Amino acid sequence: MITIIGAGKVGTSAAAFMMIKELDDILLIDIIENKPQGEALDLSHAASILGLSVSITGSNDFKDMAGSDIVVVTAGFPRKPGMTREELLTKNAGIIADIAEKIKEYAPNAIVLLTTNPLDAVTYVMYKKLGFPRERVIGFSGVLDAGRLAYYASKKLGVSPASITPIVLGMHGQAMFPVPRLSTVMGAPLTTLLSEEELKEITEETVKAGATVTKLRGYSSNYGPGSGLAVMVEAIKKDQHKAFIASVYLQGEYGYNDLVLEVPIILGGKGFEKIIELPLTEEEKKGLDESAQAVKNLIEKLPPEYK
């Protein structure tokens, strides 16, 4: 069973995409009374119309996730106007710490995926509080950031985004580090296919993508994160050994320790199987270091009980 904690826009979008893929039965959990039950009922009607053999249920009781092999955490406060990342982190770290206790109690063998922001620092909290092997605690972020880079590059190139292998490293947020030289179309780097001005434009569009969506429609992304979570869950459920970019706990990779960053991973049935270390130039490593420092700064501001 797949449990999704948080029945807001991201959680329900993820459930919808997973339902369409018929990955497994789905449980939505939320603390708001009747909210997950209502969302589950609507999704169940959709499954019936589409002829899908999937059970979708809702609950306000964490006990119901017992036996789940995948737990997706989308719960948490959104960032509001005037709120700093540090303030958001303090609020959401407490929520994640509480959820970690519930996962340990009821789904101790689960692989845990998170979308709560600020993503990298919150994933760090989840990893520390769970005490699970690092391979089973994965922050969803890079799939979204990389997908956005592929989208904006595809518009410049006139090719399908599926033809582009995009690379975005570091922090999920304003300090993310897109790497056009290592982002390719059939092996050809974007740096050989686009002008300096075009590269600058797609990099800026990628970094600002989330803010652009929020500005246009008044609330943050949900279909992008939902679809990304679905393909990651599919890779786990089907043991696909598939490459993704995701936020994971590093133990020496890229020269970092005790830090969570977006890096390329291979994802399969037991969680992430390996971290791929890309050959960065000196200038690229400097850019990644700056991105990593932004995450370090957030982690250092965490209250001691969350480290």
Q: Are 133 and 271 in contact (CB under 8 A)?
A: yes
Active site annotation includes 172: yes
Compute the distance between CA of residue 119 and CA of residue 115 in angstroms, rounded to an integer: 6
Question: How many CB atoms sit inside 10 A of residue 251's CB?
Answer: 11
Compute the distance between CA of residue 107 and CA of residue 121 in angstroms, rounded to an integer: 22
Compute the distance between CA of residue 172 and CA of residue 127 in angstroms, rounded to an integer: 17
Label the pairing between strands 164-165 and 26-29. Answer: unpaired
Contacts by residues 295-298 (CB-CB < 8 Å, ≥ 24 positions apart): 295/120, 295/121, 295/170, 295/171, 295/175, 295/259, 295/260, 295/261, 296/259, 298/85, 298/86, 298/89, 298/118, 298/120, 298/121
Catalytic pick among 128, 136, 172, 296 = 172
Strand partners, 104: none
Phi-psi category of residue 53: left, alpha or beta, with phi > 0 → left and psi -120 to 50 → alpha = beta
Q: Are 248 and 134 in contact (CB under 8 A)?
A: yes
What CA–CA distances, in Å, run from 2 to 6, 27, 189, 233, 264? Answer: 13, 6, 37, 9, 24
Compute the distance between CA of residue 92 and CA of residue 118 in angstroms, rounded to an integer: 8
Compute the distance between CA of residue 214 and CA of residue 40 in angstroms, rounded to an integer: 26
Q: Are 96 and 125 in contact (CB under 8 A)?
A: yes
Q: Which residues are catalytic?
A: 172
